[in-house]
Structures are given as structure tokens and as C-alpha cells.
Amino acid sequence: MPSLLFSQVVVNSGLTQIIDAPLGTAQTLNIALQNNSDDAKRVTFALMDYYNDCNEGYVYVDGEEPIESSCRPWLTLENTELVLLPREKRDFSVLVNIPSNYNLPNANTCLFINNTALVDSVQKAGVIQFGVQIRYGVNIIYNNPSVQSSVDLFTQSLVIDTAGVNYAFELSLVNRGNASTTFHTKASILDMEGNMVYENTSIRQSIQPQQCRKVLLENIDVAPGTYELVLLHEADSGDVFGVSESITF
């Protein structure tokens, strides 16, 4: 596989582009491309909306109508296709016209960059060699500076694993805010009399806006019964997000 990558067009400017410009302004993103091949390569570009689901990961939406948090209508591509000469390096420009009336904390879309051999297959000595296509996805994220910067850690799902000797929890969190942070989760389990029978703190993780993270809490050794689970997600901003629910083992 590495030999295939070395013979393809690669993206050198990173796969996440963050825009923090004011409303009503324009900004140009430059995507750095490099053809590592000794052959000319055709590169095509397409925009597609996506959202982040903690269970399914990035879910791409193939449709003409943009989703609510899309910045796809703001973007103008330099072109939809170009040819890079052997070993050529060049920037691909994306013009972003930010509307003056956007009121959500952030917006996003994805720029797909597809590259193939200029001739998709060639025949040498009776053997057909097919060109290999590699696709990059560049996430374009807009953070709205007119909306107060905030973190919002939301517990999307909780799965209890009872297969092992002791119980384990797997939490899925999504940051619904417009600011990045690091966080850890404190979990407490109380019996029906209010006595704490389990307490644990997860490792600290970073999380971006609209990103999901998994939190695993293991070695929960409690007797069968009904308990109150209390989860506190503490961000480095000082914000604390809590949730509690009744659980039965």
C-alpha cells in the first residue's frame, strides 16, 4: 500500500480546515496538493455535507439540499477538475463567502479530493494494469465568532457490558458547542440508600466542536440490584455537565 500512496496525489495542508472569520466576510482556503508520481494525474473535487454520529462516525449526506449546519452553499471551488503534471506541487483555492445572517455556532462540510491516473488502464505485453484511485476528505469547519464560545458535552448513549467478570460502561459523548476543550468523566454509582458503591475517573481527552468521543469505565464490581448512576463531564474551561439515571444489574 505505501508504494501506491507514493505514486498518487497527496494533500499536504491537513485534512481539517478551520475558519474563524467574522460574518459577512470572505476568506480563501488554499489546499496544498502534490503529485508524487512520474505520471500526470487527474484530480476531481466535490463537496458533500456530513454530520457526526457517535455510533456510525461521520455520516455523509448525498443530496442537493444542504443540511442545517452546512457551509457548502458558501463555498466556490476554483474548479471541479484539474491535471497535475509529474511531481508538480500546487495550491487549490476554495473561496468562502460567509453570510452576514448566520446564527448557529458552527457550520461544516467536506471537500472530497479524488485522484486517478490520467489513463486509467494501460496494456503492456498483454497485461492490463488498472489505475488506483485514492480519495481524501478535507473537513471544512466554520466557528461563528458572533456566537459566544462555549462547550456543550452531551451524553448521546450509554452501553453497559455485562459479559465479563465485572461490569463496564461505554459512554458516547458529542460536543454540541462551538469551542474545543479537554475533559474527563467522573462516574459514581449510588445504592438506593444513597451510599456510594463505585467511583472512577476516566482519562482526559480532547474534543472538538461536533466531535464524538468514547469513554470507557471498567471493573465495576457491584452486587445485582438497582442503582443511581451519576456522570459528571468536567471540561478544562471549568464547565461541568452532569447526567444521572437509574440502572439495574
Domain spans of the chain? 2-143, 153-248
Region 213-220 average pLDDT = 89
Please determine, for residue 5, whether its predicted confidence score (pLDDT) is greater than 90: no
Q: How far is CA 243 from CA 50, 72, 136, 235, 240, in A?
A: 27, 35, 38, 15, 10
Kindly state the percentage of the chain with pLDDT values over 90: 57
CATH fold, domain 153-248, is Immunoglobulin-like (2.60.40)
pLDDT at residue 121 is higher than 70? no
Output phi, psi for 166, to 5 deg: -115, 165
Cα dist. 40→15, 119, 132 in Å? 23, 9, 13
Its sign, for the CA torsion 60, 65, 71, 76, is positive
Res. 125: pLDDT tops 50 = no
Which residues, 6+ apart, have CB-to-CB distance to 194 below 8 Å?
A: none
The pLDDT tens digits of the residues spanning 170-191 come to: 999 999 887 888 999 999 999 9
Residues whose CB falls within 8 Å of the CB of residue 249, separated by 6 or more in sequence, listed in order? 160, 162, 167, 222, 223, 224, 225, 227
Q: What is the pLDDT of residue 54?
A: 74
Residue 247, judged by CB atoms within 10 A of its CB (0-12, 13-18, 19+), counts as middle
CA distances from 129 to 21, 114, 125 (A): 47, 19, 11
Say what the pLDDT of residue 117 is: 63
Give the pTM: 0.70
71 torsion bin: left (phi>0), alpha (psi -120 to 50), beta (else)? alpha
Please report the pLDDT score of residue 53 as a whole number. Answer: 75
Architecture of domain 2-143: Sandwich (2.60)
What is the distance between the alpha carbons of residues 177 and 208, in angstroms, rounded to a whole number?
9
Q: Fold match between 2-143 and 153-248?
A: yes
Overall residue count recorded for the chain in this entry: 249
* Cα separation, 146 vs 240, whole angstroms: 23
Identify the band that residue 166 occupies on the pLDDT scale cut at 50, 70 and 90.
confident
Please check whether residue 26 is in contact with residue 75, taking contact to mean a CB–CB distance below 8 angstroms. no
Angstrom distance (rounded) from CA 47 to CA 89: 22
